[in-house]
Amino acid sequence: MIWPLPTPAEPVAVLRYDLDTLPRVRRFVADQAVAAGLAGDRVADLQIAVTELATNSVAHAGGAGTVQAWCTDRHLVCEVHDDGWLADPLAGRLAPAHDGIGGRGLVIVHALCDLVLVHTTAAGTTVRLHMLREAP
């Protein structure tokens, strides 16, 4: 995506994480998802997706990142930002080779969330996940 994602108009909850605080990401996401009224299985889906992105931040993008969450009238939105850069604009949209190692995390994120938006530049990457607040 060429243009940055728009700044949310709604109040935003923020958690900064690194290797030592990575376990807090799951609790933060669960708290936000439960407060937004997501069903238990959708809470778990979002936890998996955000944890995958946060783990990638720690392993491949400078060791730290930020998770933000907010509610719109129809969605809970979680956004993960780090200092990394995605060279492949289709990352996560195409299945990796069956005999390859890695490359499945973003595919899983796309499968678990209702909408995934990505903005990446040399200054960092933002991945925005949308989950419908009502049953899909």
Helix (H, G, I), strand (E, B) or coil at 100: coil
- Alpha-carbon distance 119 to 113, whole Å? 17
| Mean pLDDT for the chain overall | 90
DSSP code of 4? P
> Which token pair is 77?
């939105």
Q: Which of the four pLDDT bands, split at 50, 70 and 90, describes residue 2?
A: low
Tell me the per-residue pLDDT of 23-76, one tens digit each, with 9 for 90 and over. 999 999 999 999 999 999 999 999 999 999 999 999 999 999 999 999 999 999
Give which of 34, 35, 39, 28 is closest to 67, Cα–Cα.
Answer: 28
- 115: tokens are 């909408």
What's the DSSP call for residue 123?
A: T
pLDDT over 90 at 86, yes or no: no
**Model pTM score:** 0.90
How far is Cα 26 from Cα 135, in angstroms, rounded to an integer? Answer: 22
pLDDT at 110: 93
